[in-house]
Structure 1
Amino acid sequence: MQKLEGAPWEIDPYLKTGGYEAWRKCLKELTPNDIVGEIKKAGLRGRGGAGFPTGTKWDKVLNHRVQERYFVCNAGEHEPGTFKDRHLLKHIPHQLIEGCLIASRTVNAKASYIYVNHEYAEEEANLRKAITQARERGLLGKNILGTGVDLDLEVYSGHGSYVAGEETAMLESMQGRPAMPRQKPPFYPTDFGLYGKPTLVNNVETLCNIPQILKNGAAWFTQVGTEKCPGTMLFSLSGSVNRPGVYEMPMGVTIRDLIETCGGGVPNGRKIKAVFPGGPAFSMVTADQLDLPMDFDSLKKAGTGLGSAGTIVIDDATCMVAATLKYSNFFKGESCGQCPPCRMGTINLATLMDKIERGEGSRKDLDSLLQLCGFVKGTGYCTLITGAAVLVQSSLRLFQHEFEEHIRLQRCPFQPARTGAGANA
């Protein structure tokens, strides 16, 4: 995904690189079934977390018996260590717009929206300017390019919370209700989405792939990546690396290559202690697992997950209890409070973690943490409490010795012991 010259909302640089060619083909040559068929052949999987086959999702909405349908682009990114969608919104908004137009046209959406995290003020401004320019060129709005097709995009400034990024919570907030995940069943917005109607929801990166696939063909897309996970992915690389940032790499790149080739290795000669391949809601991997391929299936088989590829590197100078507490506090603060197991579970997990980090924990607290994780995992309307439990379980399983050192020393072993003079200084 190439960053263009000039202001990101300017349409001419995008047009010069073949921008909106795929959209023109969709308006004048390709049928909705043609489009879905090409996406299926490409094997594109959703880049928002679950890795669900994109063509299958589009097909389900396209062929739904209910004719009133909607489309929503989910740009409500809010997870720690994940900022790839923000990068795309900021630098190539026209590619996203084209992907959204193709998706909306394919499923015959009655109305189409782009839900943007309200904290992304600059990115939202760029997007709105780009939509205006596309509208002025006749690429959206009324009677698009003289084809008689009417289709517009509305930007919705989102709630800005982690839970609001869960697609059913996002749809609830768009209807003026609190951003809380829906009870299930029904399980998917493809059956019961916006206003209770079938709704196609895709994330930013997924949609940015669509114009390229339709312009260059499915065979072009499958030239890189793995057999079951073709194409490239944008990795948000952060933490203990020399060059944090967003990197586009083939699916299946190893964790080691991502850190060393893209990130320039770990600063100050430190060693890697752990890596979150897909953010803190998935299990960590340790330094002996750095040759794992970064794709949905390989990481799932290894007991973790790719998610939205928010890769966080932790070096050997970091206290794992403190790092786990930091993310536990994040989950506690982001819980919407709808599910009792999540509301109370996130509070109790963070409280116990804080107690151990302060040097006031006991062996009983370690048992309580594991017991609590077992009780709450998988019990919420969304995956927040499961992520909070997996975080603690993973940390305890891999770094139990650090938890035990906190209890034995009655302080964090990564901090110098406080003397009487130091305490009063």
Structure 2
Amino acid sequence: MTNNNHLRLLQPLEGNPWNIEAYCQKGGYEAWQRCLRENNPDSVISTLKRASLRGRGGAGFPTGLKWEKVFHHRSAERYFVCNAGEHEPGTFKDRHLITHSPHQLIEGCLIASFTVGAKESFIYLNAEFTEARANLEKAMGEARERGFLGKNILGSGVNLEIEIYDGHGSYVAGEETAMLESMQGRPAQPKQKPPFYPTDFGLHGKPTLVNNVETLSHVPHILRNGPEWFTQVGPEQSPGTMLFSLSGAVNRPGVYELPLGTSLRHLIEECGGGVPNGKKVKAVFPGGPSFAMIGPDQLDLHMDFDSLKKAGTGLGSAGVIVVDDATCMVRQTLKLSSFFREESCGQCPPCYIGTENLEELVKKIEEGQGTQQDLDRIMQISGYIKGTGFCTLVTGASVLVQNSLRLFRSEFDAHVANHACPFAPAPV
């Protein structure tokens, strides 16, 4: 499938994760030093475009195009923000990267900030990531001592600092416009696109480059090894490797770096060791709860942006959640419906009213009080609210219940007919 030469993001370092000497021995900060020497932002952007690096935070937008848009913006005042909020259930790869490989993120942030000419640079970090923050701060301290960060970097005359911003937000605060709002002291509420694309109207109303942790961590490796190296693995439209957060009903949950296009079956059975206790796969969320589930007959799907979109679901940030055949899907749907209801910021009426109604209906069915009319109402409400919010939360909530009801209608019907859940009680 690939050789270890392409599996770079999770390469362990000798000693502590913040050990800059160990990172430099593996080629760390070489790309950053070359950027300083050459001072050619167009060349950096061209390299990323030729590598066809797509954002690893959800939408899969071409990274080079985003950097180009900010760099060539007519406004001379620009900003950079690394989005390390990561609040979505089943996604924990960014926390893993910051905790275990902080220097490659720092180097990626330095290159991004310098390339787009950012006035100020930030890492928006989930405040719950205490270990990750401690390791990141130690790594930044070592980078500063080596002269890679701060004033007059390596005698180049370039001054560049990166500030860690505590993200005390929510799931919605991970949406880039909501994140930028919270950083300016306002409620973490998404802005409508258009016109509020961060590349045009971001932090302080100025063009802002926003990338997530994994995307930025790829950048130093691409610049050091070349775009041709990066495109040797993965599909033509989605090359390179990606980190998959694997959780749920698997023997070996964890973070796995694999080429994009790897089958879901390989991830679950070979990497995750299959489903425990002799159970079988019942459903999989390939991109977290915001994207449609797939059944066990689709495990040979390729895990990349375009293949999953074609199959009616999505890759998102690759938070893969496996559900076994002993799980009540009504209960599972209720659990995630409650999450969406709790995380709604309340800005869009269809979202905060719709998510509340959906949770109430699914709860009614799980408790054995539901009717066939309630099932019809679920489909009706989901159809009304899908795509109506400023962000994707309300769409994710509606896709969840629609998809669950379509795939597991017999379970919903059994709850209604028997006035009870036919599965074993949920563990306390």
The TM tier, using the shorter chain, reads over 0.9
State yes or no: 1:188 paired with 2:197. Answer: yes
2:177 and 2:196 in contact (8 A); partners too: no
SS at match of 1:354: helix
**Residues 1:268 and 2:280 aligned together:** no
Corresponding residue number in structure 1 for 2:5: none
Matched, 1:82 2:82: no
User: What residue is the counterpart of 2:372 in the other structure?
Assistant: 363
Is 1:161 matched with 2:183? no
**Does 1:254 find its partner at 2:270?**
no
Partners of 1:250 and 1:261 in 2: how far apart?
14
**Contact 1:68–1:110, Cα closer than 8 Å, also in 2:** yes
TM-score (norm 1): 0.97
| CA distance in 2 between partners of 1:174 and 1:361 (Å) | 43
Instruction: Verify the 8 A CA contact 1:226 1:252 in the aligned structure 2.
Output: yes
> What's the counterpart of residue 409 of structure 2?
400
Q: Give the corresponding residue for 1:56.
A: 65
* SS at 1:110 equivalent: strand
TM-fit CA distance, 1:415: 2.7
Kindly report which structure 2 residues correspond to 1:116-195, keeping only aligned pairs within 5 A, or say none.
116-195=125-204
Distance 2:77 2:39 in 1: 22
Structure 1 CA distance for aligned equivalents of residues 122 and 339 of structure 2: 28
User: In structure 1, the residue corresponding to 2:118 is in which secondary structure?
Assistant: coil
- Matched with 1:299 is 308
After TM superposition, give the deviation of residue 8 of structure 1 in Å.
1.1
**Structure 1: distance between partners of 2:220 and 2:208:** 20
Mapping 1:377-396, distance limit 5 Å: 377-396=386-405
Equivalent in 237, 257, 281 of residue 228 of structure 1: 237
Separation (CA, whole Å) in 1 of partners of 2:133 and 2:420:
45
Looking at structure 2, the residues matched to 146 and 280 of structure 1 have their Cα atoms a distance apart, in angstroms, of: 48
Structure 1 partner of 2:117: 108
Q: Distance in 2 between matches of 1:411 and 1:387?
A: 27
The corresponding residue for 2:27 is 18
Quick one: which amino acid aligns to residue 265 of structure 2?
R
Aligned to 1:69: 78
TM-score of the aligned structures, taking structure 2 as reference length: 0.96
AA aligned to 1:196 is: G
Superimposed CA distance per residue, residues 231-282 of structure 1 (whole angstroms, 9 cap, x where no aligned partner): 0000000000000000000000001000011000000111111000000000
Letter in 1 for 2:45: V
Cα drift, residue 129 of structure 1: 1.2
Unaligned runs of 5+ in 2: 1-8
Contact 1:74 1:201 in 2 (8 A): yes
Question: One-letter code of the match for 1:231?
Answer: G
Partner AA of 1:275 in structure 2? V
- Report how far residue 140 of structure 1 moved: 1.0
Q: Is the 8 A contact 1:119 1:160 kept in 2?
A: no
> What SS class does the counterpart of residue 368 from structure 1 fall into?
helix
C-alpha deviation, 1:187, in angstroms: 3.8
How far apart, in 2, do the equivalents of 1:136 and 1:348 lie?
A: 55
In structure 1, give the amino acid aligned to 2:303. M
Q: For 2:405 and 2:374, locate their aligned partners in 1 and report how far apart those are by CA, in whole Å.
A: 12
Give the letter for the 1:203 counterpart: N
Q: Which residue of 2 aligns with 1:42?
A: 51
List, as ranges, runs of 4+ consecutive aligned residues in structure 1 with deviation greater than 2 Å.
Answer: none
The percent of aligned pairs where both chains have the same amino acid is: 70
Structure 1 unpaired stretches of 5+: 417-425
1:290 aligns with 2:291: no
Who is 2:423 aligned against? 414
| Partner of residue 374, structure 1 | 383
Q: Aligned partners of 2:192 and 2:320: how far apart in 1?
A: 30
Q: Distance in 2 between matches of 1:201 and 1:283?
A: 26
SS for the counterpart of 1:323 is helix
Deviation at 1:30, TM superposition (A): 5.0
Measured against aligned partners, the alpha-carbon deviations of 1:112-166 in whole angstroms (never above 9, x if no partner) come to: 0000001111111111111111111110111100011111100001024101100
Q: Which moved more, 1:28-37 or 1:307-316?
A: 28-37
AA in 2 matched with 1:108: G
Give, in whole Å, the separation in 2 of the partners of 1:29 and 1:216. Answer: 17
